[in-house]
Amino acid sequence: MATTFINITLKIWRQKNVNAKGSMESYTLDNVSTDSSFLEMLDQLNEQLINQQKEPVAFDHDCREGICGMCSLYINGRAHGPDTGTTTCQLHMRKFNDGDTIYIEPWRSRAFPIVKDLVVDRSAFDRIQQAGGFISVNTSGRTMDANAIPIPKSDADKAFEAAACIGCGACVASCKNGSAMLFVGAKVSQYALLPQGKVEAKERVINMVRQMDQEGFGNCTNTGACEVECPKGISLENIARMNREYLCAAAKAD
Amino acid sequence: MSKSALLKSSIAKKYWMSLTGLFLCLFLVGHLAGNLQLIFTTGEEGKRAFNEYAYFMAHNPAIKILSYLTYISIIFHAIDGIMLAIQNKRARPIPYAYNNPSANSSLASRNMAILGTLILVFIATHMANFWWKAKISSDKFPLHMKELTVEDSNPMTGQPQKVNVKLYLTTSGDYVPVDQLEVKNNTDLYAKGVDLKMAEGYKDLHSLVFAFFGHNKSKEGFPVNDMALGAVLFYVISMFVMGFHLWHGFSSAFQSLGLNHPSYTPLIKKAGYGFAVLVPLLFAIIPILIFLTK
């Protein structure tokens, strides 16, 4: 496919800092290669802004290959843009047409305060992980080989699918309630399915859900938006599993 | 820990929403089965069947327990829903300038709170129109009465004549003449002038419903409803709203309880869509049919 160049209009959320009041600002950007990625397009915009002595747009990015979970961006009303199963860094400008207006906003959630422009603070996810998203292993040098424990293939596959979550927060961003249940469901599931995770399963689900509630995320109403927008295809089955785990844990809690 | 976990947490709210919602789905089936009697049998027989059914529903202790469970479920479901809506609104203080939610979720699933509120308004008016009048209000309620024209002979002239006789239906299944009786405590039938309860009558709920949806039941003691067409429309629209609510709610309740599996979830979804169409549709047919036969 031949490279073409398009001219676009961008409507981008600009906000100086966490306390400042932000607003949507309009920019025009010419000669954008359709082969460039969405983030390269933003790099191009920032070069233009710097040349004009203007403040560049702050946005999160790191690996640029869809695995780190750093990039975010709510593009034209959808988390990570119009494609499904991709992160923003995997989105290419060939998905857009000459003359398009593209809306770019940060994840909107009370639990993800905006640091600057399109950058949000997702440390709420870290605190949820710290509340129980781990297994306690004795690392004194006599650690048991994980592969020595037989695990049914189907369980291993499901745990692996849940562990594919990169914690980007697209589920929270697309949920009309700003709920983090797909993220927490995936993190609970990846351990709940494996023997190593069973030891702390009860405390894990109770503590992670409690932390999730404290962070100010909304409640899940099963709209299923998270599952559709998740770049890693995490299924709603993980939320159901968390609901089961939680019910058992809460009923048996000391 | 377990106390707050099973009452206050975000997941606990899902369980309560789900359990009360599923119980209300069961209630809908029972309520529908009872109400379909309004259109399945016509004439005195249908009227009798419905009023006897209504008497049973009002006097059976097991039904009483179920009715209280239903009231509690409605209240809990509504309060829980309002709390969820407020918290969820708070979770996103600044809305998106540009949002495309139809790309990832159904209209019904995104509007459960507003649909639920409309259903609550419907329930309030529905209960004011029927439940309040039949059960709570102390106003005199007309009893099931049958009017007969019998051939008789004039006691003075000996000529044959036609005489109108009014009869109350009693809970023992007999018809007793109205002019020999006196009504006390709404449904108790006393022999005239004697302080002796002879029988108990049935409240004529059948005629209340038919009068509400346009029939002329002034002879039975119910005022003519000039707003019948409006009532029918309101009921039909409300059932449409309920269908939308159930479209998402039915299968959602199973997901909330943790029941999600590739083998049976597609079945639950299909059953939910069937339930969401069939139950409100059958409910809506009742007022339409009554109105059309007035």
**ipTM of the complex in this document:** 0.91
Residue A247 has pLDDT above 60, yes or no: yes
Are β-strands A78-79 and B145-153 bridged in parallel, bridged antiparallel, or unpaired? Answer: unpaired
What is A48-82 written as a DSSP string? HHHHTT-PPPP---SSSSS-S-----EETTEET-S
B211: number of Cβ within 10 Å: 23
Higher pLDDT, B196 or B275: B275
Question: In this structure, what token pair is assigned to residue A127?
Answer: 């605190």
CA A209 – CA A181 distance, rounded (Å):
9
Buried b (16+ CB within 10 A) or exposed e, B129-163: beeebbeeeeeebbbbbeeeeeeeeeeeeeeeeee
| Range of weakest confidence among A39-48, A51-60, A195-204 | A195-204
If asked whether residues A129 and A244 sit together in one domain, one would say yes
If asked whether residues B179 and B58 sit together in one domain, one would say no
Buried b (16+ CB within 10 A) or exposed e, A211-224: bbbebbbbbbbbbb
CA A50 – CA B102 distance, rounded (Å):
37
CB contact under 8 A, A224 and B9: no
Query: From the candidates B22, B87, B92, which should be mutated to test the interface with A, based on the most A CB atoms within 10 A?
Result: B92
Question: For A188-215, how does the pLDDT look when each residue is reduced to its tens digit (9 = 90+)?
Answer: 999 999 999 999 999 999 999 999 999 9
| Range of weakest confidence among A124-138, A233-247, B155-169 | B155-169
Query: From the candidates A128, A172, A203, A243, which should be mutated to test the interface with B, based on the most B CB atoms within 10 A?
Result: A243
Task: Tell me, yes or no, whether B66 lies in a domain.
Answer: yes
Supply the pLDDT for residue B34.
Answer: 95
B125 phi/psi in degrees, rounded to 5: -70, -40
Could you list the residue range(s) of the whole structural domain that residue B192 is in?
A: 145-201
B265-292 and B10-35 helices cross at what angle (nearest 10)?
Answer: 40
- The CATH number assigned to the domain holding A202 equals 1.10.1060.10
Question: In this structure, what token pair is assigned to residue A34?
Answer: 């359709």
If asked whether residues A127 and A111 sit together in one domain, one would say no
User: Residue B157: CB partners within 8 Å, gap ≥ 6?
Assistant: none
> Which of A66, A85, A115 is the C-terminal boundary of a domain?
A115
Supply the pLDDT for residue B1.
Answer: 44
Among all residues of chain B, which has the CA nearest to that of A171?
A: B104
If asked whether residues B33 and B113 sit together in one domain, one would say yes
If asked whether residues A146 and A80 sit together in one domain, one would say no
Instruction: Tell me the chain A residues in contact with residue B101 when contact means C-beta distances shorter than 8 Å.
Output: 77, 174, 176, 225
If asked whether residues B154 and B253 sit together in one domain, one would say no
Three-state DSSP at A93 gives helix
If asked whether residues A65 and A152 sit together in one domain, one would say no
> Which of A88, A115, A142 is the C-terminal boundary of a domain?
A115
Q: What is the mean pLDDT of residues B174-200?
A: 86
If asked whether residues A138 and A245 sit together in one domain, one would say yes
Buried b (16+ CB within 10 A) or exposed e, A41-77: bbbbbbeeeeeeeeeebbbbbeebebebbbbbbbbbb
If asked whether residues B172 and B51 sit together in one domain, one would say no
Task: Tell me, yes or no, whether B113 lies in a domain.
Answer: yes
Q: Which residues pair with A92 in a beta bridge?
A: A37
Task: Tell me, yes or no, whether B101 lies in a domain.
Answer: no
| Range of weakest confidence among A200-204, B4-8, B114-118, B231-235 | B4-8
Q: Please name the residues between 121 and 160 in chain A that touch chain B, using a CB distance below 8 Å.
A: none
If asked whether residues A187 and A138 sit together in one domain, one would say yes
If asked whether residues A216 and A109 sit together in one domain, one would say no
Q: Smallest Cβ distance to A240: which of B1, B248, B258?
A: B258
Q: How far is CA A162 from the centre of its chain?
A: 13
Task: Tell me, yes or no, whether B31 lies in a domain.
Answer: yes
> Which of A93, A115, A137 is the C-terminal boundary of a domain?
A115
Question: In this structure, what token pair is assigned to residue B12?
Answer: 């606990």
Residue B14 has pLDDT above 60, yes or no: yes
pTM of the predicted model as reported, rounded to 2 decimal places? 0.92
Kindly state whether A119 is in contact with chain B, defined as any CB-CB distance less than 8 angstroms: no
Residues B255/A240, Cβ–Cβ less than 8 Å: yes
Residue A143 has pLDDT above 80, yes or no: no
Q: How confident is the model at residue A124 (pLDDT cuts 50, 70, 90)?
A: very high
Question: For B20-39, how does the pLDDT look when each residue is reduced to its tens digit (9 = 90+)?
Answer: 999 999 999 999 999 999 99
Residue A149 has pLDDT above 50, yes or no: yes
**B175-177: strand order across its sheet:** B145-153, B160-169, B175-177
If asked whether residues A83 and A155 sit together in one domain, one would say no
Domains in chain A, number? 2
Instruction: Tell me the chain B residues in contact with residue A216 when contact means C-beta distances shorter than 8 Å.
Output: 90-91
Residues A245/B256, Cβ–Cβ less than 8 Å: no
- The CATH number assigned to the domain holding A87 equals 3.10.20.30
CA A129 – CA A140 distance, rounded (Å):
23
User: Residue B223: CB partners within 8 Å, gap ≥ 6?
Assistant: B211
If asked whether residues B231 and B192 sit together in one domain, one would say no
DSSP class of residue B180? G
Among all residues of chain B, which has the CA nearest to that of A250?
A: B2
Supply the pLDDT for residue A83.
Answer: 93
If asked whether residues A108 and A158 sit together in one domain, one would say no
Query: From the candidates B82, B94, B109, B263, which should be mutated to test the interface with A, based on the most A CB atoms within 10 A?
Result: B94
Supply the pLDDT for residue A79.
Answer: 97
| Range of weakest confidence among B148-157, B210-219, B264-273, B279-288 | B148-157
Could you list the residue range(s) of the whole structural domain that residue A73 is in?
A: 5-115
If asked whether residues B116 and B165 sit together in one domain, one would say no
Question: In this structure, what token pair is assigned to residue A45?
Answer: 């915009």
CA A104 – CA A106 distance, rounded (Å):
7
If asked whether residues A20 and A52 sit together in one domain, one would say yes
Q: What is the mean pLDDT of residues A29-48?
A: 97
At A252, which helix (H) or strand (E)?
Answer: helix A237-252
Question: For A102-114, how does the pLDDT look when each residue is reduced to its tens digit (9 = 90+)?
Answer: 999 999 999 999 9
Q: Which residues pair with A120 in a beta bridge?
A: A114
If asked whether residues B45 and B179 sit together in one domain, one would say no
CA B39 – CA A214 distance, rounded (Å):
53
Q: What is the mean pLDDT of residues A28-50?
A: 97
If asked whether residues A246 and A129 sit together in one domain, one would say yes
Supply the pLDDT for residue B5.
Answer: 64
CB contact under 8 A, A11 and B97: yes
Residues B156/B184, Cβ–Cβ less than 8 Å: no
Task: Tell me, yes or no, whether B81 lies in a domain.
Answer: yes
CA B35 – CA B25 distance, rounded (Å):
15
Mean residue pLDDT across chain B:
92
If asked whether residues A146 and A55 sit together in one domain, one would say no
Domains in chain B, number? 2
Q: Please name the residues between 4 and 33 in chain A that touch chain B, using a CB distance below 8 Å.
A: 11, 13, 24
Task: Tell me, yes or no, whether B248 lies in a domain.
Answer: yes
If asked whether residues B123 and B256 sit together in one domain, one would say yes
At A159, which helix (H) or strand (E)?
Answer: helix A153-163
Residue A2 has pLDDT above 80, yes or no: no
% of chain A surpassing 70 pLDDT: 99
Supply the pLDDT for residue B48.
Answer: 93
Q: Which residues pair with B145 in a beta bridge?
A: B168
If asked whether residues B50 and B127 sit together in one domain, one would say yes
Q: How confident is the model at residue B42 (pLDDT cuts 50, 70, 90)?
A: confident
Task: Tell me, yes or no, whether B164 lies in a domain.
Answer: yes
Mean residue pLDDT across chain A:
95
Q: What is the mean pLDDT of residues B54-70?
A: 95
% of chain A surpassing 90 pLDDT: 91
If asked whether residues B51 and B193 sit together in one domain, one would say no
Q: Is A23 left (phi over 0), alpha (psi -120 to 50) or beta?
A: beta
If asked whether residues B186 and B159 sit together in one domain, one would say yes
Are β-strands A5-14 and A101-105 bridged in parallel, bridged antiparallel, or unpaired? Answer: parallel
If asked whether residues B70 and B192 sit together in one domain, one would say no
Question: In this structure, what token pair is assigned to residue B4?
Answer: 């707050």
Supply the pLDDT for residue B158.
Answer: 78
Task: Tell me, yes or no, whether B98 lies in a domain.
Answer: no
Q: Which of B38, B37, B34 is nearest to B215 (CA)?
A: B38
